[in-house]
Chain A
Amino acid sequence: MKKILFIVINTIYIYSCSNDPYASLNINSNSFDYEIAVSGYISTCKDYCEIRITKPILRNESFEFEDITDAIVILKDNGTTYSFKYFKGEFGNGKYRSIDSIVGVAGVVYELTIQYDKKIYTALEIMPPLPSEEFNIPLICEISEDSFDEYISVTTHQHNFGYDKTNIWVYTIISNYNDNQDSLDGYSDPIIVCDNQDFRNTGLTFTHKGSIPQGSFAPSFSGGGTGGMAIDSISILKAGISDEYEKYLSDKFNETDWQGSIFSTIPDNVSTNFSDGALGYFYALNIKEGRFLLKDLFEK
Chain B
Amino acid sequence: MKSKILVITLLLISFVCVSQNKYTINGYITNKNSGESLIGATVYETNSLKGVVSNSYGYFSLALPQGECLIICSYIGYITDTIKVVLSEKQNIDIQLSIHNISINEVVVSAKDYENILQTNEYKIEKLTIKNIRQLPILFGEADLVKAIQMQSGVKTLGDGSSGMFIRGGSSDQNLILIDEAPIYNPSHMFGLLSVFTPDAINNVTLYKSNMPAQYGGRVAAVVDCKMKEGNLYKYGFSAGVNILSASLYANGPIVKGKSSFLISVRKSMFDLIFKPQYEGYRIVPGFYDINFKMNTKVGKKDRLFVSFYNGQDRVKAFDGFDNDWSNITSTIRWNRNLSTKLFSNMSFIYSNYTNNLQYIEGAQGYKWQTGVEDFNGKLDLSYFSSPNSTFKFGINCVYHKFIPGETVDTLQSIPRIQAYESAIYLLNDLKLFTWLGINYGLRFSIFQNTDNAKWFDYNEDYIPIKENTNSDGIYHTNYNFEPRISINLTISPKYSLKFAYARNAQYMQVLQNTSLSYTSLETWFPANTNIDPIIVDVISGGWFQKLNTKYFVSAELYYKDYKNQIDYIGHAKLTDNQYIEAEVRKGTARAYGCELVIKKQNGKLTGSISYSYSRAFRKIKDINNNIEYSSPFDIPHDFRILANYKITKKWFVSSLWLFTSGRPVTLPIGYYKDESESIPIYSDRNEARFPNYHRLDVSVNYTTKPEKKKIYWDFGFGVYNLYAHENPIGYENTGTTISSQTFLDFMPNISIKATF
Task: Please report A residues at the B interface, Cβ cutoff 8 Å.
Answer: 8, 12-13, 15-17, 19-29, 31-32, 34, 37, 39, 52, 54, 56-61, 63, 65, 140, 155-158, 160, 162-164, 200-201, 203, 210, 212-213, 216-218, 220, 250-252, 254-256, 259-260, 262-270, 279-281
Contacts and interface: CB of A to CB of B under 8 A. Distances in A.
A200 to B, nearest CB: 5
B627 interface: no
B677 A201 contact: yes
B451 interface: no
A37 B517 CA distance: 28
A158 B362 CA distance: 10
| Interchain residue pairs A-B with the least CB separation, the first 10 | A268-B571, A37-B673, A158-B365, A65-B674, A24-B692, A56-B673, A218-B363, A26-B690, A63-B737, A216-B367
Interface string B714-757: 00000000001111110011101111110100000000000000
B522 to A, nearest CB: 6
A220 B362 CA distance: 11
Interface residues of B, number: 77
B434 to A, nearest CB: 39
Interface of B: 360, 362-367, 369, 408-410, 412-413, 514, 516-517, 519-522, 569-577, 579, 642, 658, 663, 667-686, 688-693, 695, 697, 724-729, 732-734, 736-741, 743
Contact of A216 (B365, B521, B570, B573): B365
A210 B574 contact: yes
Given A217-B367, A218-B363, A268 B667 contact: yes
A26 B663 contact: yes
A212 B47 CA distance: 73
Given A13-B724, A27-B668, A279-B682, 18 more contacts: A16-B695, A56-B674, A59-B669, A163-B412, A163-B413, A164-B412, A217-B365, A218-B364, A255-B572, A260-B733, A266-B514, A266-B569, A266-B570, A266-B667, A267-B667, A268-B571, A270-B680, A279-B675
Contacts of B680: 252, 255-256, 270, 279
Contacts of B676: 39, 52, 200-201
Nearest to B363: A218
Contact of B362 (A54, A218, A259): A218
B571 A280 contact: no
A31 B365 contact: no
Contacts of B667: 266-268
Given A12-B697, A264-B517, A65 B413 contact: no
22 contacts: A8-B642, A12-B695, A25-B691, A25-B692, A27-B670, A28-B670, A32-B684, A56-B673, A63-B738, A65-B672, A65-B674, A212-B408, A216-B360, A254-B572, A255-B680, A260-B733, A262-B520, A262-B522, A265-B574, A266-B514, A269-B683, A280-B675
A131 B514 CA distance: 34
Contacts of B365: 156-158, 216-218
Contact of B572 (A24, A158, A218, A251): A251
A140 B693 CA distance: 51
B689 A265 contact: no
A21 B690 CA distance: 11
Nearest to B733: A260
A153 B369 CA distance: 28
A34 B673 contact: yes
Given A26-B692, A28-B670, A252-B675, A59 B738 contact: yes
A21 B673 contact: no
Nearest to B358: A262
A57 B363 contact: no
A75 B515 CA distance: 42
Nearest to A210: B574
B684 A39 contact: no
Chain B binding site: helix, strand, loop or mixed by DSSP? Answer: loop
B464 to A, nearest CB: 10
B514 A56 contact: no
Contacts of A155: 363-364
A213 B576 contact: yes
A251 B410 CA distance: 22
Contacts of A65: 672-674, 679
A28 B574 contact: no
Contacts of B412: 160, 162-164
Contacts of B737: 63
B522 A259 contact: no
Contacts of B520: 262, 264
B161 to A, nearest CB: 15
A218 B364 CA distance: 7
B681 A255 contact: yes
A22 B667 CA distance: 15
B671 A280 contact: no
B77 to A, nearest CB: 26
Contacts of B569: 266
Nearest to A257: B678
Contact of B682 (A22, A32, A254): A32
A220 B364 CA distance: 9
A265 B682 contact: no
Contact of A280 (B673, B684, B726, B738): B673
B671 A56 contact: yes
A269 B415 CA distance: 26
B611 to A, nearest CB: 14
A158 B365 CA distance: 5
B576 A263 contact: yes
B575 to A, nearest CB: 7
Contacts of B519: 262
Contacts of B738: 59-60, 63
A15 B516 CA distance: 28
B635 to A, nearest CB: 13
Nearest to A251: B572
A260 B573 CA distance: 15
A210 B412 CA distance: 11
Contacts of B743: 21
A212 B695 contact: no
A157 B690 CA distance: 42
Contact of B678 (A17, A60, A252): A252
B673 A265 contact: no
Contacts of A34: 671, 673, 682
